[in-house]
Structure 1
Amino acid sequence: MNGARDRLHRPPVVPPGFWDDATLRAALAEQHMGRVVAAYRRHHAHTSTLRQTDVARWAGLSQARLSRLETGPPIKHLDDLVFWARLLDIPAQLLWFQMPGTPHPVLSAPPEPSEQPSGGRYRLLRFDDHLPPDEADIAAMQTFREADRSYGGGRLYSEVFHYWNTRLAPRLFNGDDDPAPKVFAAAAGIVEMAGWMAHDAGRDDRADRQFRRALELSKIGRDRQLTVHIHASRAHLALHRGDPRQAIRQAYDAEMALSKAPASPELTARVYAMQARGFAAIGEARQARRLLVRAEHALDTAIATTLSPWVSRFDLGSLASEASRSLRHLGDLTAAAAAQRVIDLRPRERTRSRALGQLTYAAVLADQGHPDHACAIASGVMATTGELASYLVVSHLHDLRGRLLCYRTSPSVTDFLDLLDHTVNTMTWIPHRSDGLSHAGDR
């Protein structure tokens, strides 16, 4: 009974020789991840055929979307391929694509102080110099995304700046020929990434500048999906800065841009989610809930699409995160359930998004009069995010601190507040002054 219940929540440990199955090998040879998933489900090693609903639950998808993945065209987006390879624990030597953390590009461990170049700085990331430039840009974006989940924007903003200066700026401004639109699209994607990392490092003015420049570059680069994505990013930043009406305007601009972009259920869902957060922030509960429903329906739309490599994914976990924020603004008790869903859908390696979901859940618990439970969750976040330089996580901790002050007569709350203050005071990466890294994408 326990084994059957576990099967509903996580992939099983497969026996030796599992991947030698002829049907699995054929699907891998076809480079069709959907057929690999189908062959995995039907493998004779399972005590019974795994249902699509079981595998969809592991992945945080609907059964309908998994069915389309298995029977539709092969997925091309590297994020998706890496996700499924990790979820099913497919041996790397059987894959037709490069997994992050293997030969190109790779994360490099910080060298010892004696190995650092003059000035005391070292490069946290290394990139493959043998790929064609266009492929190298996409691979670099994947590396930034992977590293961002482990290190946070507080450590990676300078890395994006370095990539801009050494890899993109020379091709944009020093070439003999006019750059192709795809170079501008790559520049837009990298500069938008710089904006998110600046935001995560607590530098929102800088993030706003980068998003505006990225928007201009995306139009020159003719990547209309990226244009939609950047409008949504600007809406998110406006919400974070306390300007919900500006966020709604940006989200409506994103919706207008959607009509000119290749169809994408994920982008559509993200735009509706940003609109919902804006309306929730101004107290328009009915409109916010209606838009959250539209976002959920968009994610379940049966459309086979290709997503720009410069656009980050928006899945059920992402929607749960936006929904929990909207519902908290409205004082809705279901915000706790939405935050719990984020935690359930995010694997442990998604350190920051999982931590933000946990802290949102803790804040709801504090508001509902459960301070001890909130402190326990937040203490766990601090224990697991020691290497993550994310000002967003710190901001959520500060917000929780304010919510717990009315319970400071409780010994457990007092102990937590002392631990929180000590932990934040030791975070030397938190910006107190300009560090000269303000020009990524400025030139």
Structure 2
Amino acid sequence: MTAMSRRAGCARCGAGLATDNNSGRCAPCQRAERNRVVAAPEVPATFWSHEPLRRALAERHLGRVIRAYRHHPYHGRQPLPQATVASWLGVTQAQLSRVETGPPMVHLDRLAHWARVLGIPAHILWFRLPPGRDDAPPPVAGEAGPHLLSALRCADRQIGGRNLYRAALAHITAFSPPTGQSSALPRPTLLAAATLHEMAGWMAHDSGDSATGRQHFRDALALAVDSSTHLLVGQVHGSLSHLASHDGNAAAAIAHAIEGLGVVADEEAGARVRARLFALQARGLAAAGRAAECHSTLRLAEVALGQAEASPTAWLSPFDRTSLDIETARCLLRLGDVTAALRLLDDIVTDEPTTRVRSQALARTLLVTALVGQARIEEACLVTHKTIDLTHGLGSTVVLDQLRHLALLLRSHSVHLPDVPQLLDRLRDTFRERSWMALPLPTG
């Protein structure tokens, strides 16, 4: 890799930053921030000698300990949000707020579990940790489950599946049923297990491992069927349809979408799931060259989305206008209607800060493809540069593969336009910097 000049230091540790790093944090600090989204980070031993923490521990009040933990300068200029720490502990933000400001907790099981989640050393606690339960967090169910799933989804959109897959595996292990015993579990636990398997499938797919993703989707489908939750069954069929389209199997993509539509056809709250399934069916039809059927199915997706109310349950993934427009643009590009695709993508792509980094990145790569199709190469280069900036900390092999595709599209224009060789050099550096994404996924 070519040597890169350095500029202002990391806002957290002071290390130098590369010229194209606009995040304000070095790579190790970015990894620490990603981990904080779904699990407490590993902290140095000196962390616990911070005076507010020492005082809270001396007062034997775990709520005050948690508040001092959140406000520790190790985490940066801003304290950790209550909602983030609450998701680690398996409670709501409101519940954690009451714990921090209310009377001291006295239940040993909860004290021990939360101390382990935060990694508080046993020798500084005022109570003894029960033996033999260090790696067994309680199952996610009831009120806490949706908050954990929401935190994972939010983090996944911002930092990509590669950075979160291990965390998803840990939560799956905590409460997945033994083989053949899923029928004995409470329905909320089945739903959480199914949803986490589906999330892990998307994270594996986002990491470039479609085989592992497919197995997670199959596990999710079996658990969703056992839970008798038709909307979740339909959603998982949609995930399998997406994976089939990605792998170039149009027939399987169409079949999974149709099967999912059959499952949710009579569900009153299923309009949003039906919209997603119609869009995925249309994508398979576009890949099969069945243009008229594709357009009519996209119209069905529009109608269904127009009928959709708020998502009926936290177990379901969101599907909104932006999601449908991206699927529609994919179909239009596949059918060769570049002008219509451009109109859609121009409305989707924004330079404003976003929590949906991966969706914006995918929309931008589609936009560049359309711009190249209309020989608007300078605009395509500008959007590609912005996409590289946007995805600096994104662990997504899918997005990286799209950037590789753009490099191939732009290469033939390098002789005539001086902007292209410079962009191709930057893309090559980007591929080398992100070569860690080619490492195998963790298995536990």
Q: When the two structures are superposed, what TM-score results if normalisation uses the length of structure 1?
A: 0.68
CA contact (8 A) 2:191 2:223 kept: yes
Map of 1:228 onto structure 2: 234
- When Rg is computed on C-alpha atoms for both structures, the one with the higher figure is 2
**How many Å apart are 1:114 and its aligned residue?**
7.8
Q: Aligned pair 1:242/2:248, yes or no?
A: yes
Quick one: distance in 1 between partners of 2:178 and 2:144? 15
> Aligned pair in 2 of structure 1 residues 345, 408: CA closer, same or farther (>3 Å)?
closer
Q: Aligned pair 1:282/2:243, yes or no?
A: no
Quick one: distance in 2 between partners of 1:340 and 1:205? 34
Quick one: distance in 2 between partners of 1:176 and 1:153? 26
Quick one: distance in 1 between partners of 2:171 and 2:326? 30
CA contact (8 A) 1:231 1:253 kept: yes
Q: Aligned pair 1:160/2:168, yes or no?
A: yes
CA contact (8 A) 1:225 1:308 kept: no
> Aligned pair in 2 of structure 1 residues 408, 210: CA closer, same or farther (>3 Å)?
same
Quick one: distance in 2 between partners of 1:320 and 1:228? 20
Deviations 1:264-301 (A, max 9, x none): 22111111101111111111111111111111111112
Quick one: distance in 2 between partners of 1:399 and 1:305? 36
CA contact (8 A) 1:195 1:208 kept: yes
CA contact (8 A) 2:357 2:391 kept: yes
CA contact (8 A) 2:159 2:393 kept: yes
Map of 1:310 onto structure 2: 315
CA contact (8 A) 1:224 1:262 kept: no
Quick one: distance in 2 between partners of 1:401 and 1:320? 24
One-letter code of the match for 1:161?
Answer: L
Map of 2:200 onto structure 1: 194
CA contact (8 A) 2:183 2:226 kept: no
Map of 1:135 onto structure 2: 143
Quick one: distance in 2 between partners of 1:276 and 1:155? 31
Aligned to 1:407, the other structure's residue is in SS state: coil
Q: Aligned pair 1:384/2:354, yes or no?
A: no
Map of 1:330 onto structure 2: 335
CA contact (8 A) 1:152 1:389 kept: yes
One-letter code of the match for 1:425?
Answer: R
Aligned to 2:375, the other structure's residue is in SS state: coil
Quick one: distance in 2 between partners of 1:265 and 1:341? 24
Structure 1 spans left out of the alignment, 5+ residues? 1-104, 117-123
> Aligned pair in 2 of structure 1 residues 110, 183: CA closer, same or farther (>3 Å)?
closer
Deviations 1:214-256 (A, max 9, x none): 0000000111100000001100000001111110011111111
> Aligned pair in 2 of structure 1 residues 139, 130: CA closer, same or farther (>3 Å)?
closer
Deviations 1:376-398 (A, max 9, x none): 10111111211111111111111
Map of 1:341 onto structure 2: 347
Map of 2:414 onto structure 1: 408
One-letter code of the match for 2:421?
Answer: T
Map of 1:263 onto structure 2: 269
One-letter code of the match for 2:359?
Answer: S
Q: Which of residues 396, 402, 415 in structure 2 aligns to 1:396?
A: 402
Quick one: distance in 2 between partners of 1:196 and 1:179? 24
What is the RMSD of the two structures over their aligned residues, measured on CA atoms? 2.8
**How many Å apart are 1:173 and its aligned residue?**
7.6
Quick one: distance in 1 between partners of 2:182 and 2:309? 39
Quick one: distance in 2 between partners of 1:324 and 1:196? 21
One-letter code of the match for 1:127?
Answer: W
Quick one: distance in 2 between partners of 1:422 and 1:399? 15
Aligned to 1:430, the other structure's residue is in SS state: helix
**How many Å apart are 1:174 and its aligned residue?**
12
Aligned to 1:314, the other structure's residue is in SS state: coil
**How many Å apart are 1:106 and its aligned residue?**
5.6
> Aligned pair in 2 of structure 1 residues 265, 346: CA closer, same or farther (>3 Å)?
farther
Segment drifting more, 217-226 vs 131-140: 131-140
Map of 2:325 onto structure 1: 320
Quick one: distance in 2 between partners of 1:346 and 1:205? 35
**How many Å apart are 1:347 and its aligned residue?**
5.9
Segment drifting more, 140-149 vs 174-183: 174-183
CA contact (8 A) 1:151 1:387 kept: yes
Aligned to 1:380, the other structure's residue is in SS state: helix
> Aligned pair in 2 of structure 1 residues 229, 174: CA closer, same or farther (>3 Å)?
closer
Map of 1:423 onto structure 2: 430
**How many Å apart are 1:429 and its aligned residue?**
3.0
One-letter code of the match for 1:315?
Answer: D
> Aligned pair in 2 of structure 1 residues 328, 130: CA closer, same or farther (>3 Å)?
closer
CA contact (8 A) 1:279 1:288 kept: yes
Q: When the two structures are superposed, what TM-score results if normalisation uses the length of structure 2?
A: 0.67
Quick one: distance in 2 between partners of 1:388 and 1:206? 20
**How many Å apart are 1:188 and its aligned residue?**
0.4
Count matched residues. Answer: 323
Aligned to 2:394, the other structure's residue is in SS state: coil
Deviations 1:340-395 (A, max 9, x none): 23225996221110111111101110121111211110111111211111111111
One-letter code of the match for 2:153?
Answer: R
Quick one: distance in 2 between partners of 1:147 and 1:212? 23
Quick one: distance in 1 between partners of 2:312 and 2:396? 27
Structure 2 spans left out of the alignment, 5+ residues? 1-35, 48-83, 93-139
Alignment of 1:57-206 (within 5 A): 110-111=41-42, 127-130=88-91, 133-165=141-173, 167-169=174-176, 178-206=184-212
> Aligned pair in 2 of structure 1 residues 127, 407: CA closer, same or farther (>3 Å)?
same
One-letter code of the match for 2:382?
Answer: A
CA contact (8 A) 2:154 2:355 kept: no
Aligned to 1:127, the other structure's residue is in SS state: helix
**How many Å apart are 1:141 and its aligned residue?**
0.4
Map of 1:65 onto structure 2: none
Identity %: 30
Quick one: distance in 2 between partners of 1:176 and 1:249? 27
CA contact (8 A) 1:317 1:345 kept: no
**How many Å apart are 1:305 and its aligned residue?**
6.8
**How many Å apart are 1:308 and its aligned residue?**
2.7
